[in-house]
Amino acid sequence: MFARSRQLFASAMFVQDGFLVAGAWLLAYWLRFFGLRLQAPLGVPPLRPYLWACAVLVPTALLVLRSFMLYRSARTSRLGHELLAITQSLAVTAALAALGSYLVRGELSRTMILVFFVVAVAVFAVDRIVLRAVLRVLRRSGHNLRHVLVVGTGRLAELLVAKIRRHSDFGFVVHGLVAESPEAAGREVAGVPVLGSVDDLPRLAEMHGVEIIYIALARPEWQAEERALQLLADSTAAVRLVPDLSQAFRLNPSVEDFDGMPVVLVTESPEQGWNAVVKRAFDLCGSAAGLVVTSPIMAVVALLVRLDSPGPVFYAQERVGLNGRRFRMVKFRSMRVNAEDSGTSWTTKNDPRRTRLGTTLRRLSLDELPQLWNVFVGDMSLVGPRPEQPEHVDRFRASIPRYMLRHHVRAGMTGWAQVNGLRGDTPLEHRIEYDLYYIEHWSLLFDLRILWLTVGRVLRDASAY
């Protein structure tokens, strides 16, 4: 019944999306040639060729949407992820429409195709938001529920039950837990009764009309997990395996399909796929704009550095960035020439190696401006963990756990640790915690927030020396 209702729902969504694409296409035609009052130098084209194009576009769009896995069960998926997949799908669809128009000598308006993309994204977004709101109300009122058993009584099972309770809009009802051995039957774990042992699974699933069974056993209980999978081989319930990663540090964990084999990604950089494109585009545009806007300031600073003390205007130092790759980070020189002859070290308050101008440059972070070029060429990002010298990296990776995880992303001009006052000669362990938090929670909005906080921090940062 569960599989049948899920298939019916997916089929209904598939058909509905076809109507949404067709409606967005026709609405885009009306907006382009009538509603928006845009100029049409060649006159208003007849509707007929656009109707034929629509007949080709709808099945094409549905195939693209399906290829982005949008018709799988989305009960536990995030709205943001679904909307991103929809936007990507419609971008591909619009690109195919433009390519088709080009191949038939440009019979379709390029402006209309762009309008179609914007309209379609808006229509699909509203549809999905409304649909989720309706389903949330239904599930909280006791409808459209899925009956669940959880195999396991340990920490992993407790965490799963807590998540199910926290997301009541998912519509899961946990009937009970199933223990590794019969001795645990009859007691409660996290307020959920233990109904029996693994050997009782088929009987319990049938008795409670269970539709989904989550196996959440610890790794030492692998034999019980193997036994549960064996007993559920011919079950009508959907079986889902929750991997035990309690002993491993996780960084953006996810699951990928490797030629039909599910593979758990324990540590993964957020700069993958579409995220990498978005972040790099943001860095490229931001650094280009920054170079243009700050070029008069940098010209004045360069002249002052030259007049203040003998030596070059710029100072390039080897640092470690993405995936441990080394690069030359550029700054305005704020120290005397040969200041590091005695060895590499962080600057400290009242550091005697600084030049007269260097104190001011560091206080206002003006010495960092040339790093916009590092961002522009791809060595760095506007936001990310601050890069360290190779000597420090070699020392820290041997003594500080998880230190190298910060190199899963590009080094940044500013970062979450820096806007929280952790820069220069401050505890490295604290900085790493902030860096890893940034990597785990990365988003474009988070980057914008850090950049905004950086502006305020520059004016009142007592640790900038």
Over residues 25-46, the mean pLDDT reads 86
Domain boundary assignment for the chain: 2-140, 146-247, 273-460
For residue 345, pLDDT beyond 60: no
Over residues 261-268, the mean pLDDT reads 75
Over residues 235-257, the mean pLDDT reads 78
Contact 334, 351 (CB under 8 A): no
Contact 196, 179 (CB under 8 A): yes
Over residues 342-360, the mean pLDDT reads 68
Which CATH number is associated with domain 146-247? 3.40.50.720
For residue 331, pLDDT beyond 90: yes
pLDDT at 22: 96
- Dihedral (CA of 389, 394, 398, 404) sign: positive
Lowest mean pLDDT among 45-49, 242-246, 337-341, 369-373: 337-341
Banded pLDDT at 291 (limits 50, 70, 90)? very high
- From residue 212, how far is each of 133, 184, 332, 345, 430 by CA, in Å? 23, 22, 61, 57, 42
For residue 249, pLDDT beyond 70: no
- From residue 351, how far is each of 215, 310, 344, 345 by CA, in Å? 59, 18, 13, 11
pLDDT at 324: 87
Nearest to 380 by CA among 414, 357, 333, 423: 414
Banded pLDDT at 24 (limits 50, 70, 90)? very high
pLDDT at 254: 73
For residue 247, pLDDT beyond 70: no
pLDDT at 214: 94
Beta-carbon contacts of residue 455 (< 8 Å; ≥ 6 apart): none
Tens digits of residue pLDDT in 388-410: 889 888 888 877 877 888 888 89
d(CA 369, CA 270): 26
For residue 57, pLDDT beyond 70: yes
Which region, left, alpha or beta, applies to residue 174 given φ > 0 means left and ψ of -120 to 50 means alpha?
beta
Banded pLDDT at 463 (limits 50, 70, 90)? low
SS3 per residue for 296-308: HHHHHHHHHHHHH
Nearest to 447 by CA among 225, 286, 239: 286
pLDDT at 339: 64
Q: Answer with the residue of higher pLDDT: 174 or 40.
A: 174
Banded pLDDT at 341 (limits 50, 70, 90)? low
Nearest to 86 by CA among 366, 303, 274: 274
Contact 347, 333 (CB under 8 A): no
pLDDT at 405: 82
Tens digits of residue pLDDT in 370-389: 999 999 999 999 999 999 88
Contact 172, 157 (CB under 8 A): no
Question: 79 — phi, psi (to 5°)?
Answer: -60, -40
d(CA 237, CA 178): 15
Q: What residues does 255 pair with on adjacent strands?
A: 264
pLDDT at 280: 92
Tens digits of residue pLDDT in 157-190: 999 999 999 888 888 999 999 998 888 888 888 8
SS3 per residue for 182-242: HHHCCCEECCEEEEEEHHHHHHHHHHCCCCEEEECCCHHHHHHHHHHHHHCCCCCCEEEEC
Token pair recorded at residue 359: 């104190």
Contact 366, 297 (CB under 8 A): yes
Over residues 414-434, the mean pLDDT reads 81
Lowest mean pLDDT among 151-155, 308-312, 421-425, 447-451: 421-425
Over residues 425-450, the mean pLDDT reads 85
Model confidence, pTM = 0.64
Tens digits of residue pLDDT in 426-437: 677 788 888 888
Q: Residues of the chain with pLDDT > 70: what percent?
A: 90
Banded pLDDT at 5 (limits 50, 70, 90)? low
Contact 173, 147 (CB under 8 A): yes
**Around Cβ 420, how many Cβ atoms within 10 Å?**
16
Token pair recorded at residue 341: 């002859």
d(CA 13, CA 80): 18
Tens digits of residue pLDDT in 75-123: 777 888 889 899 999 999 999 999 988 887 767 888 999 999 999 999 9
User: What is the average pLDDT score of the chain?
Assistant: 86
Q: Cβ-count burial of 10 within 10 angstroms (0-12 exposed, 13-18 middle, 19+ buried)?
A: middle
pLDDT at 161: 93
Quote the Cα angle for 31-21-143, to 5°. 125
Over residues 252-265, the mean pLDDT reads 73
